Structures are given as structure tokens and as C-alpha cells.
């Protein structure tokens, strides 16, 4: 027995020293320094499992490095913490590229056939490839113009109906996360997919909410059929529902969005098999819902948890509300135009920006397509992945000052307490060529929901029927693939009506006509010539 144990220990030490030697021999001195090497190739994985979504901020604080290497089995990650280096990465969008990440995520995250993946992977960096032309294909539907206006109007109509229904039932005790998530999911998908929205079936909504938290299992191809079997089945159910939607030509309904029509056209023009188009909606849904739903929840929480902030938001919102006595019963209707909310409610907008700073945890990823010396100093090897973790920038005292750890709704106010920040440090929607194209749609939805809730209701946490103080739920179990932190548990609240039950409201969204009508929530929208808009 002793000899067996001794042999086992010798074997363990032999493997350990072999791995240390392999690490040393394959790590170039010109590369960013390798960290987390105590157990070669395995320590980074153990660190990620331990610290979860806080891993990159932990590593920043532990190392103080502007960029470092994580060596993992079969691949290496370069993690960029320095703002100037982020700008350098974004300028090299053809050498340090995003399309390979999209292709990998599509292959494993969305599913589908090899033929569909081949379309994505074939000459992906060429000017006419599927991935390089995707943003241009959907551009008219998500930027300033009539298609975005109609998309926003359709979403706002659904949100207004949900608020009207809540008015009829108030006071109501509910889980705030569950209510916000359902309301936003239905508003978003109804606007995008029209009257034959697959999410009208509650089973499809439940399947999506089952699948989404386990997205990382799929993107990393960690045997999801085995390790996330229920999520795998849920994904197949969602994909099948969208396959039926497109086969029935529901996307051609006049009320379906230009975004859906343009995505379908792009898929077919590039030869995506019809049987795979339902799978391709998985990626689109993740982009549409992944950030918007939790961000809306945090927006409501932070506003109602702070009486001073709530009062400020109410005062500026009430200033843009008008009255209209037209109608059969001649009762006055309060009219709110969400376009005026976007343009004339700086506190509400600044609060959303601070929500996205504090709660935004997205990580931008790109692949090094050929050896490159970044900023003339750091060798990045072909095939490696470059990561730019949002939480590192969002929690950097150098960017945000000594109150970086405090939620401050005035931080982004121009001309107030807010101090101009380095635009690279705000990563809520990515940056450069990976800037989220749907950010205008998402921010309008969130602002609309927040405005209607603030004007028409009080929201109070309760426990066993008794009012309790606001307490933000922890986010320890947030999935690593999440772009916005997700609460570990729901918050039970009572939603109480502020005005008379028969008070009438009309929600409108006037058309966009100029660049100023777009919510300037990121630097590229405020100054399109910004240095971080890398092309």
C-alpha cells in the first residue's frame, strides 16, 4: 500500500513539474505576464469557479497589471485592464477580431447544422461574409429612422397595456423581478416578432428562462446534453417554436418588425438552411433580452429605494406630462411622450447609466488572427482570445473617483456633480466595432417602463404583509455569460396606485427626426468621432 501511494505521489509530482516546464517553455517573455500559475493551466479555471463574475476584478486587484495572460488547457486568454490598451485593441479590429467569437458562440450556443456553421465560418473576415455584413443588414431597423420608431412604439404599447392592467389590480403583491422580467420580455418580443410572437405561449417563455442562465455551458461546449440536459431540451423547444414561426411566414405579417424581416432576409441571402433559422433566433434573443430584463429590474429597484432620487425623477417626469380632455367620456387623460422623456429627463437617463455601470458585467472578447505586438509592447499570439472585462472598468477608482463603489445617480449628469469620465471606462454596450446595435431600442424600453412606474405607482418591499426597508439582493450566482448582473433571489413588493383608479393615461412616442433624438448613453452616440469608435 505504501509503495502504491509513493508511486502515485511521484506520478503527481512528475505531471506537475512537466506542466510547469511546458508553461515556461510555451510562454514568450514578450507576452503579457502569465498569472494564476500555481497549478499550471488549471488555476485560472479554479479561480473562475471560485470568484465567478468577480474573477476579473479580483485579478486586477491582486496583480495590478495593465494586461496579463491566463494559460488554460489548449488555449490562452489575454485580459486587458488598461484603458489605453483597450483603445489599442479596438483599433485593430481586423487583426484582433470579433467575428470568430460570434461564430464559436453561434456554433455551440445556438445549435444547428454544420452547413449553417460553415456559412458563418467561411471567410468570416471578408467584406461580404455573413458576420461582417450582419450589422449593416439590420442597421436601418435599430438606428435613427422610421423602423426604430415603430419598433419602440410597438414595445411601448405593450408596456403601457401592462401598466394599465396593473392599475386595475393595484395594490398587488408580487415578485418584482418576475413581474418586470415578464413585462419586458413580452414587450420586447411582441414588438420584434409581431402578433404571432412565439412567446405568447407561456411554455416558450418558461423554456427561454430555463435555458438562458446556462448559456455558458453551450458557448464553451461543456457537454450541455449531459451537464445541462434540461437547458438543452429548453433550447430545442425555443428553436422549434421559431422554426414553426418562420415556416408559417409569420415574419411577413405587416406588424412584425423590420428587424425580424431584415434578419430573415440576411439569413436566406447568405444561404442559411431553413431548418437552422429557428436556431439562429437563439443568439438574437440573447442579444435582445440578456441585458434589458435585469437592467430594467435594477432600474426600478434603485429609483424606488432612494426617496430623493424618486422625487427628482417624478418632478422631471411630471414636467413632460400633458393633459388631453378628448374622448367619449370627456375625462382628462394624462399624456406622456416617451420621446420627451428621453430628451428632457436627465436624472432618469443618468440613473440608467449608473445602473449599467454598477450592474453591467459584460466582457468583450476577440480573437487574435495573427501575431500582433499591442501598443508596441505586448506580443499577442495568433489564436489567443483577448478579453476586455466591463466590471474592471466600471469599478476602477482611477476612472470614477473614490466613490466608485457607491451608486450615485448624479455621476453622469452634465453640468452637475457628475464629472466627465473616460469614455473607455463605460462598457455597458461594449465599444468600437462591437458596440451593441440594439442599445437605442433597449434604453428606450427601460426608460419607458421606469417612467410609467414612477409616475403611476409606489413600490414598497414587503415581508409577510408588512413593509420592510429596501435591500438590494446579492448577485453571487450571476452566470458568467451574463451582461448585467442577475439577482440571486426575487424581491417581494407591494405595488400601490398613486392616483385615482379611473385616471386615464395615454402613452405616445413621437418620431425621431435628428441625431439629438437618440439617447446619448455611450460616448459614440454623443461624439461619433470618439477615439473608441474604432474603424
What does the chain come to in residues? 535
Task: Give every CB contact of residue 342 below 8 A, 6+ residues apart in sequence.
Answer: 349, 444, 447, 517, 519
Cα separation of 512 and 334, whole Å? Answer: 22
Residue 41 backbone class (left: φ over 0; alpha: ψ -120 to 50; beta: rest)? left
Q: Which of 106, 145, 413, 397 is nearest to 270 (CA)?
A: 106
- Indicate the SS3 state at residue 69: strand
Binding site for heme, by residue number, is: 436
Task: Going residue by residue through the chain, which has 535 residues, state the pLDDT in tens, using 9 for 90 and above.
Answer: 567 777 777 777 888 888 899 889 999 999 999 999 999 999 998 998 888 888 999 999 999 999 999 999 888 999 999 999 999 999 999 999 999 888 888 877 788 888 998 998 888 888 899 999 999 999 999 998 899 999 999 999 999 999 999 999 999 999 999 999 999 999 999 999 999 999 999 999 999 999 998 887 787 776 778 878 999 999 999 999 999 999 999 999 999 999 999 999 999 999 999 999 999 999 899 989 999 999 999 999 999 999 999 999 999 999 999 988 655 556 678 999 999 999 999 999 999 999 999 999 999 999 999 999 999 999 999 999 999 999 999 999 999 999 999 999 999 997 655 566 778 889 888 877 778 888 999 999 999 999 999 999 999 999 998 999 999 999 988 887 789 999 999 999 999 999 888 889 999 998 765 444 555 666 566 554 444 433 3
* Spatial contact of 221 and 191, defined as CB atoms under 8 Å apart: no
Which residue in the block uniquely carries the three cell numbers 455551440?
108
Q: How confident is the model at residue 14, as a pLDDT?
A: 84
Q: How confident is the model at residue 503, as a pLDDT?
A: 87
Cα separation of 483 and 102, whole Å? Answer: 15
Binding site, by residue number, is: 436
pTM for the whole structure: 0.92
Lookup: cell for 382: 495568433
- Torsion angle, alpha carbons of 447, 449, 450, 452, to 10: 120
- Helices (H), ranges, 412-528: 439-456, 523-526
* Spatial contact of 482 and 53, defined as CB atoms under 8 Å apart: yes
Cα separation of 483 and 247, whole Å? Answer: 31
* Spatial contact of 280 and 113, defined as CB atoms under 8 Å apart: no
- Helices (H), ranges, 385-503: 390-394, 397-400, 439-456
Q: How confident is the model at residue 102, as a pLDDT?
A: 85
Cα separation of 293 and 482, whole Å? Answer: 11
Q: Which of 475, 531, 487 is nearest to 52 (CA)?
A: 475
Amino acid at each position: 500500500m505504501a509503495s502504491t501511494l509513493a508511486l502515485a505521489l511521484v506520478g503527481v509530482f512528475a505531471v506537475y513539474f512537466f506542466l510547469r516546464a511546458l508553461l515556461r517553455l510555451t510562454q514568450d517573455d514578450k507576452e503579457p505576464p502569465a498569472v494564476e500559475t500555481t497549478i499550471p493551466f488549471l488555476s485560472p479555471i479554479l479561480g473562475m469557479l471560485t470568484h465567478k463574475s468577480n474573477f476579473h476584478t479580483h485579478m486586477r486587484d491582486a496583480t495590478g497589471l495593465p494586461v496579463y495572460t491566463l494559460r488554460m488547457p489548449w488555449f490562452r486568454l489575454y485580459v486587458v485592464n488598461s484603458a489605453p490598451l483597450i483603445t489599442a485593441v479596438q483599433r485593430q479590429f481586423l487583426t484582433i477580431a470579433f467575428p470568430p467569437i460570434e461564430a464559436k458562440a453561434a456554433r455551440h450556443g445556438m445549435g444547428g447544422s454544420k452547413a449553417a456553421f460553415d456559412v458563418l465560418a467561411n471567410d468570416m473576415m471578408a467584406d461580404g461574409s455573413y458576420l461582417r455584413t450582419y450589422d449593416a443588414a439590420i442597421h436601418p431597423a435599430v438606428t435613427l429612422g422610421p423602423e426604430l420608431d415603430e419598433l419602440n412604439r410597438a414595445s411601448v404599447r405593450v408596456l403601457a397595456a401592462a401598466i394599465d392592467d396593473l392599475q386595475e389590480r393595484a395594490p398587488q403583491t408580487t415578485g418584482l423581478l418576475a413581474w418586470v422580467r415578464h413585462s419586458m420580455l413580452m414587450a420586447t418580443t411582441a414588438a420584434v416578432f409581431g402578433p404571432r410572437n412565439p412567446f405568447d405561449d407561456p411554455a416558450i417563455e418558461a423554456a427561454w428562462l430555463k435555458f438562458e442562465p446556462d448559456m455558458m455551458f453551450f458557448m464553451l461546449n461543456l457537454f450541455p446534453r449531459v451537464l445541462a440536459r434540461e437547458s438543452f431540451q429548453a433550447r430545442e423547444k425555443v428553436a422549434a417554436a421559431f422554426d414553426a414561426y418562420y415556416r408559417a411566414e409569420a415574419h411577413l405579417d405587416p406588424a412584425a418588425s423590420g428587424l425580424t424581416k431584415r434578419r430573415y432576409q440576411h439569413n436566406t441571402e447568405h444561404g442559411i438552411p431553413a431548418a437552422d433559422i429557428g436556431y439562429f433566433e437563439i443568439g438574437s434573443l440573447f442579444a435582445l433580452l440578456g441585458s434589458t430584463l435585469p437592467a430594467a429590474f435594477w432600474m426600478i429597484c434603485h429609483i424606488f429605494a432612494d426617496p430623493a432620487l424618486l422625487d427628482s425623477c417624478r418632478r422631471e417626469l411630471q414636467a413632460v406630462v400633458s393633459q388631453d380632455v378628448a374622448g367619449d367620456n370627456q375625462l382628462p387623460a394624462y399624456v406622456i411622450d416617451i420621446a420627451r422623456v428621453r430628451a428632457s429627463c436627465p436624472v432618469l437617463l443618468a440613473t440608467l447609466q449608473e445602473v449599467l455601470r454598477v450592474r453591467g458585467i459584460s466582457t468583450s472578447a476577440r480573437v487574435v488572427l495573427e501575431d500582433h505586438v499591442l501598443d508596441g509592447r505586448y506580443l499577442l499570439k495568433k489564436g489567443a482570445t483577448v478579453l476586455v472585462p466591463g466590471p474592471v472598468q466600471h469599478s476602477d477608482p482611477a476612472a470614477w473617483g473614490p466613490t466608485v463603489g457607491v451608486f450615485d445617480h448624479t455621476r453622469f449628469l452634465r453640468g452637475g456633480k457628475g464629472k466627465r469620465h473616460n469614455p473607455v471606462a463605460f462598457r455597458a454596450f461594449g465599444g468600437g466595432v462591437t458596440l451593441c446595435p440594439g442599445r437605442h431600442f433597449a434604453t428606450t424600453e427601460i426608460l419607458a417602463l421606469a417612467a410609467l412606474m414612477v409616475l403611476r405607482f409606489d413600490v414598497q418591499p414587503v415581508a409577510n404583509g408588512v413593509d420592510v426597508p429596501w435591500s438590494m439582493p446579492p448577485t453571487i450566482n450571476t452566470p458568467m455569460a451574463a451582461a448585467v448582473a442577475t439577482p440571486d433571489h426575487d424581491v417581494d413588493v407591494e405595488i400601490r396606485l398613486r392616483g385615482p383608479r379611473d385616471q386615464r393615461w395615454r402613452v405616445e412616442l413621437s418620431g425621431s427626426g435628428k441625431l439629438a433624438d437618440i439617447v446619448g448613453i455611450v460616448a459614440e452616440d454623443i461624439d461619433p468621432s470618439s477615439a473608441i469608435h474604432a474603424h
